[in-house]
Amino acid sequence: MNINDFRDFVLFVAKKAQSGANPTPSQFNLAVERSFIGWVMKRYGNPADYLPNRPVPRVAWQQSQKISDDLSFLITRRIFAVSTEGTIPYPDGTTTLDINGNIAPEYLHASSFRYNYIKNNTQKEISVDTIKDNELGSTLGSSIVTPSKRFPKCSYYDDFIQFYPKDLQRITFTYLRIPKTPKWGFTMDENNRPVYDSGTSVDLESGVESINDIAMGTLALLGVSIKEPFLFQASEQFKQIGV
């Protein structure tokens, strides 16, 4: 959605909340950034939703088609060369290249790994299973479930992903990328008032069906930052009626 249209909507709701406050561009940009990131986090898996008796969060990536649709704009699929040590780095959005030499978008959350298994001149794309750290020793030392090209596995580390066996050569990695930070860019007019500047602005990447949720989160944060309880109360009321 166009960030200027989004801002107009947020300010319209703020006025309806009987608030005379007018957030500065920096206050608005910070609030919409955190609201947007919060909206994304809730959909791919918020750690705050995990409980001892509920290991699966209420909302998480691919838990429903709705969640998958909401985050579809973040899905990227790239083929990476696996090093001789059996590793690939987490895509950082600046230096990590895919097999075609293109910069891979910055990594946020893994979806799947696939390996192109070839046997008797027949190719078959198979899934790569993830091994938990406390299972790694017993898996690698097993004569029954040891990783192979037919049954490859991987583990996550601080700045790389380790694959077993190490000679897979290339992996297809599907993941969610870091979203672009929305920003309302502006210039100052002759009356020293901020005016929308499309050249320095960054639009919201999410679909129009998510705009109300992000707007209510933005209003709640603005209500706190500019000490306007009306905004926070209005955002909570709109959430309750599903606006």
At residue 76, the 3 state secondary structure works out as strand
pLDDT of residue 150: 92
| Average confidence (pLDDT) over 68-92 | 94
70 by DSSP, 3-state: which? Answer: helix
pLDDT of residue 100: 96
- Per-residue confidence band for 83, with pLDDT thresholds at 50, 70 and 90: very high
The span from the CA of 46 to the CA of 205, in Å, is: 20
User: If you ran DSSP here, which 8-state letter would residue 208 be given?
Assistant: G
pLDDT tens per residue across span 42-69: 888 755 554 455 555 455 666 677 778 8
Q: How confident is the model at residue 225 (pLDDT cuts 50, 70, 90)?
A: very low
Report the SS3 class of residue 207. Answer: coil
Q: What are phi and psi of 154, to 5 degrees?
A: -150, 160
CA distance 55 to 159: 26
Burial of residue 20 (CB within 10 Å: 0-12, 13-18, 19+) is exposed
Run of H or E including 8: helix 3-16
- Cα separations in angstroms, 150 against 114, 121, 169, 207: 11, 14, 14, 39
Q: What confidence score (pLDDT) does residue 233 get?
A: 56
Please give the pLDDT value at position 132.
83
Res 168: pLDDT: 96
pTM of the model: 0.80
DSSP state of 111: E
pLDDT at 227: 46
State how far the Cα of 78 lies from the Cα of 61, in Å rounded to an integer.
19
Contacts of 207 (CB under 8 A, 6+ apart): 69, 70, 73
The H-or-E segment that residue 228 falls in is: none
CA–CA distance, 7 with 102 (Å, rounded to integer): 34
Q: What are the C-alpha distances in Å from 183 to residues 14, 68, 110, 127?
A: 19, 25, 26, 38
- Report the chain's mean pLDDT, rounded to a whole number: 84
Mean pLDDT of 196-212: 92
Query: Stretch 21-28: mean pLDDT, rounded?
Result: 87
pLDDT per position as a tens digit, 94-109? 999 999 999 999 999 9
